[in-house]
Amino acid sequence: MFFNFEDDDKELEHQYQIIAALEIIDYKINSMNKNEQDLGLLMPLFEEEYDLGAYGYIGVNGTKIIIIKKLVSFEDDGENKNIKNIFHGIYNAYSRLIMNPFFDKLDLDNPEKTTKIKTSYLNEIEKVVNSESF
């Protein structure tokens, strides 16, 4: 599992929410069409300051990606298209990362270890998120 949080104060709380979202993904996998990758809004998360939503995506290799972001509305198609673009960008960056012959999965799991490959991947993720008015 790889976590990247903007707000370190709520990191533990968001980890619990992500684990709950993973359970929902596992449930949805068993009941969905195998060609679907975008799971959309998995669950709303209500907090004091603002409402959040957990969105899910499954890559072709079974990689699960979860994004927690500010919830605009439950039915906003423009927002759903935005989320899909973010998921595709993140998944493409991840695909390039794991195809790199010099990539070591342990580098990504260790938050204290910084490598050129990991830095490049995180920069690419940041670019995707910033380009889609996250």
* Conformational region of residue 91, where left means phi above 0, alpha means psi within -120 to 50, and beta covers everything else: alpha
CB atoms within 10 A of CB 113: 11
DSSP letter (8 states) at residue 1:
-
Q: What is the pLDDT of residue 131?
A: 80
Q: Is 98 within the bounds of a domain? A: yes
Residue 103: strand, helix, or coil: coil
Domain that holds residue 48: 8-131
Model confidence pLDDT, tens digit, residues 70-97:
776 656 555 667 888 888 888 998 888 8
Q: Over range 7-19, report the average pLDDT.
A: 73
Q: Is 64 within the bounds of a domain? A: yes
Least reliable range by pLDDT among 22-31, 73-82, 120-129: 73-82
Q: Is 96 within the bounds of a domain? A: yes
Q: Over range 9-22, report the average pLDDT.
A: 77
CA–CA–CA angle 13, 28, 53 (5° rounding): 35
| CATH number, position 57 | 3.30.450.70
Q: Is 1 within the bounds of a domain? A: no
Q: Is 32 within the bounds of a domain? A: yes
Q: Is 44 within the bounds of a domain? A: yes
CB atoms within 10 A of CB 56: 23
Q: What is the pLDDT of residue 66?
A: 85
Instruction: Give yes or no for residue 21 having a pLDDT over 60.
Output: yes
Which among 131, 132, 100, 9 is positioned nearest to 119, based on CA atoms?
100
Number of domains in the chain: 1
Q: Over range 63-75, report the average pLDDT.
A: 75
Instruction: Give yes or no for residue 129 having a pLDDT over 70.
Output: yes
Pairing of the two strands 38-46 and 51-58: antiparallel
Q: Is 2 within the bounds of a domain? A: no
How is residue 133 written in tokens?
């008015």
Looking from the CA of 8 toward its CB, the CA atoms found within 13 Å total 0
Q: Is 52 within the bounds of a domain? A: yes
Looking from the CA of 109 toward its CB, the CA atoms found within 13 Å total 4
Give the separation between CA 121 and CA 96, rounded to whole angstroms: 9
